[in-house]
Every structure is written in structure tokens, then in C-alpha cells.
């Protein structure tokens, strides 16, 4: 069978260079140009890596035109609707869903590892009370490397999985502690009797000693629908191929840095409003719009090329169709509104924005559909979670993806230190 190739010709010199086309199991083919510089003396120029595949991966697949997202070959809708976040974590780390016994043991291990070293807890005293939880969280994760400074033997599966399980279990505790420190209130320790998502909500909401506020009816202040909603958000955030923060994690991994330092770098990258911080911006903008009767005017501002106003939560770098995660969250948002009796002004404004944008040719023709950030901001607000914690919640969900990508990179014998080149235009 003849090998598929592409021939590039330099019209200045007449030299030609032939490169192999690599077949993907799903999605686009890839042109292998690893020897292009040595062949031609030139570099390729691709700002933002819009046409560059920097690695080979078996973790996550995205088809932006079809609006498709799969973890380890399983469609995101099936995972979000039929499996828990911890099942998704096991899938990403082990390339298969767990058996009932494996899930039970994995859940128990995550619960037991959620506690923090007392020395690490003292770190929070060094930060001001009003520090943003993302700043505190990033620093705390870096400090984990000083408590667990072991060399990871990538030939030993037990070693790297223990490292992965530890960071997955401790991130929710660190995030909850960062939040409570920002308010100047006592920490609530993890509860070994609670599952992953309920435990996080409890550490966020409970009074010291783990006691929850009781409603008039005597029910705890965390409802099953809230746990289900947040667990789904964690699943939808678990991984998303080679996005900006994942690229940072792999880049830091390429230097040989500690895995927790790589994760901390990913957290810092995620904080940007063009990445994980976008859901904060969505709610801030909805609050700025203020009322349903002002939505149309702001939509017109967004369409005006001479106006700097941009509608947050619409469009996506990869998806040129409806973001599949957004479809799932739209249904979840409607369920929350019905089951919790929510119909706040913010939800009404968001619903009006969505209604106009989805029927307006300006947005439809430009593939500017609501993305995951549009709905997560609304849902997290409905769950009584403050804006400052939106991105830390993204971190909790994405940690398993980052650490799985780190493992894959370290096990790849062809991996090299990241070192892009440049087009120099200075003097």
C-alpha cells in the first residue's frame, strides 16, 4: 500500500520536501513535519497553534464541526447522564470504566486521601483574608510538592496512580479551604462518610464541626439535585484535549518538574478570563445588564462592529456547532429551575439572551452558540456558589484531565522538552 504524503515546494529555490500523512482513528489527519527544519532550514509559523498537533493522545477526542466530545471513546452525553464524576476519573486514568468493586475501592481511597497535612493548613495563614481563591489554590498546590517530593517511577503503575489519586482527592479540600480563608471563617474538615461532590459542598457550606443549616422542614441544606448538578459539571470539565492550560501542564511536564508543580501551572493558566475564568465574566456581564428589558439593547451593542462590547459565553475556539457540554447543561439548568423553584432575575436575563441569540442570524451565521461558560455561571449561581469559586470548581473537575495528560506525556518515549521557535522581526 502506497504511503500517503504531501510534497512542499520552495518556489524560490525549487527544492521539494515530502512528508508523511498520519492517519487518526477519529478526526483530522496530521502532516508529520518533524524534520521540516533540518530539511529546509525554515520553521513553520503558527501563532496560537491553530494548525499544530503537538502530541499524540488517546485521552479525549473533539470534533468541533459536529459538536462531538468523547473521553476514552465514550460520548460525553452518556458519561454525564449515566455515570458519576468518580467513574469518569477512573475512566480517564485507566482507559475503562470501573467495575462496582473497583469504584467502591476508588471512592474509599479518594475519601481517605482528602485530608490535608497540618503543616499545609498553616500556609493559608500567610495569605490575606480577601485573597482570590484561585491565587491561594495555585500556591497551595505548588506547596504539595514539598510534602510529597517523591520521584515517580513511570514503570510502576501503582506509584503514578497513587500520585494521581492524591491530587484528585486533595484539590476539593484545598479549594474549599481557600474559599473559607477568603471569608475569614474556620475550615470544615473533609467527612469520610460523604461522597466526593457532597463532601465538597459540605466543606463550602457547613458550620464548624460539619453541621449543616437546617431548613424549616428540618432537611439538610444540600439537596440531591444540587449534588447531581455539580457532579455533572465536574464531569463536563474533566478534560478537553490540548487546550491552553493542558498545553501548559504538558509543557511544564516536559522540563521534568514535579507533577504537582505542573498542575499548579495549569491552575494559573486556567484563571485567565479567556479560559476558565470566562464563567465569572458571564455572570458579571449578566449582572451588569441588570434586567430583561435591557437585553435587546445589549444584543445590538454586541452586533455593532464599532462597539467594544462583546457578549460573554458565546462561541468557542474549537466548536463550530453547539458545544455538546452546553446542551447537557441547558437541560440541567431547566431541571434546577423546576426542582428548586428557581426563576431569579439572572436566570430570566440569561434565558432572554439565549432566546434572542439563537434566533438571530448574526450569531447563527457566525456559529456563536452558547458555550459551557454561559450555563455553568447560571447553574453555579443557582447552587449558591459565589463567583470567586466558579474557576476553582473548574479546577476540581479538570485536575483528573491534567494529571492524566501528565502521565501520558511522561510515558511517551518520543516526548521532548517544549521549545517553540519564533519569527524574529527586531533589529
* Catalytic sites, residue numbers: 316, 373
Distances (CA, A) of 234 to 83, 243, 400: 12, 17, 10
CB 106 within 8 A of CB 90: yes
CB 206 within 8 A of CB 368: no
CB 41 within 8 A of CB 31: no
Helix 100-112 to helix 157-183 angle (10° resolution) is 50
- Could you tell me the three cell numbers for 363? 450569531
Phi/psi class of residue 41: alpha, beta or left (left: φ > 0; alpha: ψ in -120 to 50)?
left
Pick from 179, 85, 165: which is nearest to 137 by CA?
A: 179
Can you list the alpha helix ranges (DSSP code H) found in 360-426? 361-365, 372-382, 390-411
Distance (Å, whole) CA 370 – CA 354: 7
Distance (Å, whole) CA 374 – CA 230: 15
CB 360 within 8 A of CB 299: yes
Pick from 351, 353, 355: which is nearest to 310 by CA?
A: 353
Amino acid at each position: 500500500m502506497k504511503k500517503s504524503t504531501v510534497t512542499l515546494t520552495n518556489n524560490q529555490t525549487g527544492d521539494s520536501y515530502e512528508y508523511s500523512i498520519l492517519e487518526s482513528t477519529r478526526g483530522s489527519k496530521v502532516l508529520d513535519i518533524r524534520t521540516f527544519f533540518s530539511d529546509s532550514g525554515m520553521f513553520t509559523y503558527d501563532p496560537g497553534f491553530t494548525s499544530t498537533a503537538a502530541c499524540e493522545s488517546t485521552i479525549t477526542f473533539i470534533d468541533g464541526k459536529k459538536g462531538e466530545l468523547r473521553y476514552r471513546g465514550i460520548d460525553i452525553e452518556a458519561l454525564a447522564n449515566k455515570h458519576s464524576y468518580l467513574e469518569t476519573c477512573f475512566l480517564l486514568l485507566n482507559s475503562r470504566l470501573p467495575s462496582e468493586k473497583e469504584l467502591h475501592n476508588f471512592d474509599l481511597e479518594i475519601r481517605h486521601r482528602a485530608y490535608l497535612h497540618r503543616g499545609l493548613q498553616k500556609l493559608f495563614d500567610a495569605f490575606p483574608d480577601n485573597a482570590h481563591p484561585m491565587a491561594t489554590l495555585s500556591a497551595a498546590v505548588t506547596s504539595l510538592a514539598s510534602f510529597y517530593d517523591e520521584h515517580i517511577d513511570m514503570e510502576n503503575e501503582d506509584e503514578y496512580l497513587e500520585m494521581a489519586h492524591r491530587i484528585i482527592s486533595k484539590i476539593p479540600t484545598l479549594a474549599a479551604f481557600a474559599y473559607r480563608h477568603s471569608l475569614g471563617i474556620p475550615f470544615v474538615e473533609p467527612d469520610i462518610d460523604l461522597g466526593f461532590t457532597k463532601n465538597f459542598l459540605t466543606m463550602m457550606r457547613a458550620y464548624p464541626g460539619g453541621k449543616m443549616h437546617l431548613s424549616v422542614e428540618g432537611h439538610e441544606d444540600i439537596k440531591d439535585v444540587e449534588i447531581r448538578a455539580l457532579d455533572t459539571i465536574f464531569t463536563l470539565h474533566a478534560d478537553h484535549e490540548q487546550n491552553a492550560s493542558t498545553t501548559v501542564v504538558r509543557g511544564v511536564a516536559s522540563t521534568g518538574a514535579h507533577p504537582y508543580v505542573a498542575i499548579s501551572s495549569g491552575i494559573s493558566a486556567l484563571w485567565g478570563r479567556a479560559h476558565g475564568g470566562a464563567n465569572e465574566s458571564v455572570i458579571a456581564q449578566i449582572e451588569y445588564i441588570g434586567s430583561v428589558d435591557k437585553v435587546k439593547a445589549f444584543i445590538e451593542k454586541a452586533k455593532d462592529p464599532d462597539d467594544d462590547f462583546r457578549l460573554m459565553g458565546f462561541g468557542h475556539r474549537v466548536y463550530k456547532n453547539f458545544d455538546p457540554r452546553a446542551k447537557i447543561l441547558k437541560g440541567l439548568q431547566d431541571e434546577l429551575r423546576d426542582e428548586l423553584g428557581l426563576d431569579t432575575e439572572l436566570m430570566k436575563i440569561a434565558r432572554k439572551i439565549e432566546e434572542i441569540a439563537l434566533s438571530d442570524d448574526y450569531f447563527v451565521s457566525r456559529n456563536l452558540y452558547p458555550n459551557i461558560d454561559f450555563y455553568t455561571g447560571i447553574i453555579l449561581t443557582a447552587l449558591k456558589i459565589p463567583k470567586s469559586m466558579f474557576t476553582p470548581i473548574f479546577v476540581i473537575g479538570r485536575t483528573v484531565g491534567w494529571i492524566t495528560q501528565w502521565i501520558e506525556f511522561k510515558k511517551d518515549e518520543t516526548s521532548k522538552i517544549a521549545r517553540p521557535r519564533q519569527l524574529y522581526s527586531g533589529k
